[in-house]
Amino acid sequence: APRPDHRKNRKMLVGRRAYTTKGRLARVLRAARGLHPRFLHAAGKRFGQIKDFNLADIGEGIAEVEVLEWTVSEGTRVEEFDELLKVQSDKAATEITSPYEGTVVELMVKEGDMAKVGLPLCRIEIEGEETEGMKEVKESKATLTSSGPAVKVDEGNEQDFTEGKVLTSPAVRRIAKEHGINLRRVPSSGPKGRILKSDVIQYIQDGGLPEAESIPEERPANTSTPALSGTSVRVSGPQTAVPSSQAETFKMERDQVVAVRGLDRIMVQTMTAAHSVPTLLYSDEFPVNDLIKIRKTLKPIAEDMGVKLTYLPFVIKAASMALKQYPKLNSHVNSDCSEYTMKSTHNIGVAVQTDSGLLVPNVKNVQDKSILDIARNLAELQSLGHSGDLTKHHLSGGTFTISNIGSLGGTVCKPLIVVPEVAIAALGKFQELPRFDDEGQLYKATVMNVSLSADHRIIDGATVARFSNLWRSYLECPDKMLLNSH
């Protein structure tokens, strides 16, 4: 028998698709084109437009992200705003959702590989015309690039990034933030509960008012001496050093090869960059007897205001006041160290232990905040770290970093600078030690060792010493902070 003309059959079948079956169409297409089976699922359903879904430019100089996990596979049908994958940048781990409704045709990047900005993550066969949600994504992009001064968004422009349970675009989040609007209170009209810009505008016109945020209390650190709660504390529970006799042990039957991925890979990059900086190390002892007394006095007052007051807000505020006198330590240096920028704002980073690893969000504009404001911000950052909702906004823009090794029992270390910053401090644990007063009388002193690392290319040792002395004076005599605060 003569061989059938499959090209003719295929043309006829495509033109009269309503009168064919998926199985027959698949057989004809396979014979005519030798297509991969994964294409047949989409082909049997409809011949929609296939679009490359590219990784958008997320700013902050980030050129690539690591693909942690695909939550879909080839052939998976996705709705608009369904999660596609999880990625890790040098700022945060983020979920990326689909702007299209259709079928995933091909995954372009494997798990564990690096995805480049502007290159495809996957290919999706789109069903139907452009939806309202897709138009809103484009509208968000246009808003961010055309109105007013430059605005840094949380993660990307074309992708929708989920934050908590609220589904919306970066532009809508910016509008809500500018007006002090809690998005969880805004009625949504978009698909799958997505909040559109028109929803926020309508909420404002209807008299929606900003709400005071409810900040969870910080968890007290379980230490024998006073602890600087808020840095390097696992927010899912008290962080304490575990004696070796109590530590959980396990027996390994054979060697294990562990891939360096996620935050571990980011740590490799960060520490490699830090190692390239010639570092000056300076350490001093800060007396904190009077700090303990004033905190004891103010703690119940703060609790009446709904704030858990620890020692760390005092330390951060005192550092900011010292940075006003020595702004060079609050700088960013460019890659070849040909210039540095003294920052007008004090965004002080603190290390927060999360389930994903150690992250360093920062308290914004410390120079303009009270100690109570700083305490509220620290509690909020801990809560966001615990829930996995820290975004690039919280993790970027730091100008000076404080790490609390004292929460684990340490006293002195050499902290590594977070490039492009030029200085970092490590706080030791509180220790009760014998000391002599000005009259030569022995007394019991509570002291904290502070270790400072500075970029020795632009900062000399004398500047670091003077900064440390001023910082220490504020904590040694907290009343001095009241006289100099403004």
- Whole-angstrom distance, CA of residue 118 vs CA of residue 62: 11
68 Cβ contact list (under 8 Å, min separation 6): 85, 86, 87, 88, 93, 111, 261, 262
Q: Which backbone phi and psi does 213 adopt, to 5 degrees?
A: -75, 140
Please name every residue paired with 442 in a beta bridge, in sequence order, or none if there are none: 436
Question: DSSP secondary structure string, 304-333?
Answer: HTT----SHHHHHHHHHHHHHH-GGGSEEE
Q: Is the dihedral of CA 262, 268, 269, 270 positive or negative?
A: positive
Q: Which backbone phi and psi does 415 adopt, to 5 degrees?
A: -70, 145
- Whole-angstrom distance, CA of residue 140 vs CA of residue 155: 13
The catalytic position among 6, 179, 332, 456 is: 456
- How many CB atoms lie under 10 A from the CB of residue 181? 20
For residue 432, the surrounding DSSP H or E stretch is strand 423-436
440 Cβ contact list (under 8 Å, min separation 6): none
For residue 109, the surrounding DSSP H or E stretch is none
Q: Which backbone phi and psi does 399 adopt, to 5 degrees?
A: -120, -20
Phi-psi region of 92 (alpha: psi -120 to 50; beta: other; left: phi over 0): beta
Identify whether the C-beta of residue 106 lies closer than 8 Å to the C-beta of residue 63.
no
Q: How many helices (H) and strands (E) does the chain have?
A: 13, 18
The catalytic position among 52, 57, 355, 460 is: 460
460 part of the active site = yes
The set of catalytic residues is: 456, 460
